[in-house]
Structure 1
Amino acid sequence: MTDFQRPEHRIIAKALRLMDPTLLVLNRCWFAGGTAVVMMHGEYRRSLDVDFLCADMDGYRAMRSLAVEKGVGGLFAAPVTALREVRADQYGVRTLLSLDEQTIRFEIVRESRIPLDGIMNAGLGVPVLLPSDMMAEKLLANADRCQDRAVAYRDAIDLGMLIDHHGAISQDAVTKAENAYGGDIGRKALWVVDRLADRVELQHVCDALQMKREDAARAMSALSREVLRFWHRS
């Protein structure tokens, strides 16, 4: 089991260990989102949400049915408890959890834009999204919300950290993202690189996400290099 430095992440890791990994793999339900990226790449920022993605129709139906019929107890063992009833629809399953006096927003998102794959992660005890699919999801998320300053450009930072760790943006990630959103993937990637060249905006990232400036700068250096490689300006 991975040892985490931030106490909030230690509690999230404990919650993940109270899930059934066999059930998750069977239904192709992958730990993903910013918290997965953060916990797998050195805890460079604070992240408190637990998001799973499911692109498999049968798998999502099974996970949704389990959550609706059994509540949080169908997804987590004790002592995880629910702070509100599970809400489920065609887009996802959502609830608030409590463990060791920490509130955790939990969601299973029904991903209908791109296919996904994952692999078991021994350190976390659950299956996680493949790195290339994490990159694709971050490209999509950046296109959706990078211009909302309240989000603090977290998708760009997470993508930059993925690139820094793995060396490059996966061509498969770009292809999947562009198949879903077309040219807006490149436009928004270029936009956020320009935006975070501003020192004030980069400091806003550090303050909002509770991360070191050198980590934010490293992420943006990696992202800028790859964005210009794929979408160099005419």
Structure 2
Amino acid sequence: MSILHHQAIKHALSHFNLTYLQEHNILFGGGTRIALDLDEYRTSIDIDFLCPNKKSYRAVRTQVSSNSLGELVASPLTFLREIRSDRDAVRTFIKSNGCNIKLEFVSFDNYNLQAEVQPKWNVPIIDVNSCFITKLLANADRFREPVKKDIVDLIKMYEAWGEPNNLVWDEVDSHYGSAGYNSLRDALNAIANDPLCLEKTFDVCEINHSESNNIIALATEWNELIEGSENFFTP
């Protein structure tokens, strides 16, 4: 885990305009938001702001040019390349405390994402349910890839926050049907049957040996809970 990189992330977040982000429901989410909240168990090297509806993404696009984020920031950031915008996202790279950080504002139109009551790290953040929703959907998209960050994040979320609740599953089902549940089950089952499938993920994410063993044990526990629970979500 790169403490210096996470310090750089926090320093970069201090530049954003909390008032503007709160007023327009532009929320810090993704793996970095989760890793920072859960004792920085892995390295995450990007900043993702999520826009849950058209109005919030419009509030981003009205402020952005090729070299400025306008009122999205309260103090200047150092850009490493031109800011690029399209219908799905605004993307750029910034430098903070000597570290290069990918920065994105992503349109999540028509997703029921909510903010925590209190901001953190000088920005509004998505709440626990929203973390589960976004990660379950991401895992459904990517769980067969060699680097499996999403399922690792979900396992650590399960450890800290328990299982996803019915509100989470209802939202996941409204977008992906049974694929969200099936992908979680399949990913956990794959880890339980072959823990070595996470070796590359542990290496890329700089997860230490003790935490790696903990994640594998938790995956096995959750997998057994799903297999044995008659009341677990059924797609």
**Would you say same fold, with TM above 0.5?**
yes
Q: Is the 8 A contact 2:195 2:216 kept in 1?
A: no
Q: Is the 8 A contact 2:191 2:216 kept in 1?
A: no
Q: How far off its partner does 1:62 sit?
A: 1.2
Runs (5+) with no aligned partner, structure 1: none
Q: 1:218 to 1:6 in 2, by over 3 A?
A: farther
Could you say which residue in structure 1 is the equivalent of 2:202? 206
Q: Is the 8 A contact 1:50 1:104 kept in 2?
A: yes
The reply on whether 1:172 has 2:174 as its aligned counterpart is no
Could you say which residue in structure 2 is the equivalent of 1:65? 62
Could you say which residue in structure 2 is the equivalent of 1:195? 190
Q: How far off its partner does 1:204 sit?
A: 2.8
Query: Per the alignment, in what secondary structure is the counterpart of residue 188 of structure 1?
Result: helix
Q: Is the 8 A contact 1:48 1:104 kept in 2?
A: yes
Aligned match of 2:77 in 77, 80, 86? 80
The reply on whether 1:13 has 2:33 as its aligned counterpart is no
Could you say which residue in structure 2 is the equivalent of 1:216? 215
Query: Per the alignment, in what secondary structure is the counterpart of residue 67 of structure 1?
Result: coil
Q: Is the 8 A contact 2:66 2:83 kept in 1?
A: no
Query: Per the alignment, in what secondary structure is the counterpart of residue 93 of structure 1?
Result: strand
Kindly provide the amino acid, as one letter, of the partner of residue 213 in structure 2: E
Rounded to whole Å, the distance in 1 between the matches of 2:221 and 2:160 is: 9
Rounded to whole Å, the distance in 1 between the matches of 2:172 and 2:185 is: 15
Rounded to whole Å, the distance in 1 between the matches of 2:65 and 2:132 is: 31
Could you say which residue in structure 2 is the equivalent of 1:128? 125
Runs (5+) with no aligned partner, structure 2: none
Rounded to whole Å, the distance in 1 between the matches of 2:10 and 2:225 is: 31
Deviations 1:15-39 (A, max 9, x none): 1111111111111111000000000
Kindly provide the amino acid, as one letter, of the partner of residue 134 in structure 1: C
Q: Is the 8 A contact 2:89 2:106 kept in 1?
A: yes
The count of aligned residue pairs is 228
Query: Per the alignment, in what secondary structure is the counterpart of residue 93 of structure 2?
Result: strand
Could you say which residue in structure 2 is the equivalent of 1:155? 150
The reply on whether 1:106 has 2:116 as its aligned counterpart is no
Rounded to whole Å, the distance in 2 between the matches of 1:37 and 1:216 is: 15
Could you say which residue in structure 2 is the equivalent of 1:49? 46
Kindly provide the amino acid, as one letter, of the partner of residue 187 in structure 2: V
Q: How far off its partner does 1:231 sit?
A: 5.2
Q: Is the 8 A contact 1:97 1:105 kept in 2?
A: yes
Deviations 1:201-221 (A, max 9, x none): 133332221113134225424
Could you say which residue in structure 2 is the equivalent of 1:137? 134
Q: 1:59 to 1:69 in 2, by over 3 A?
A: farther
Q: Is the 8 A contact 1:164 1:218 kept in 2?
A: no
Kindly provide the amino acid, as one letter, of the partner of residue 110 in structure 1: S
Query: Per the alignment, in what secondary structure is the counterpart of residue 46 of structure 1?
Result: coil
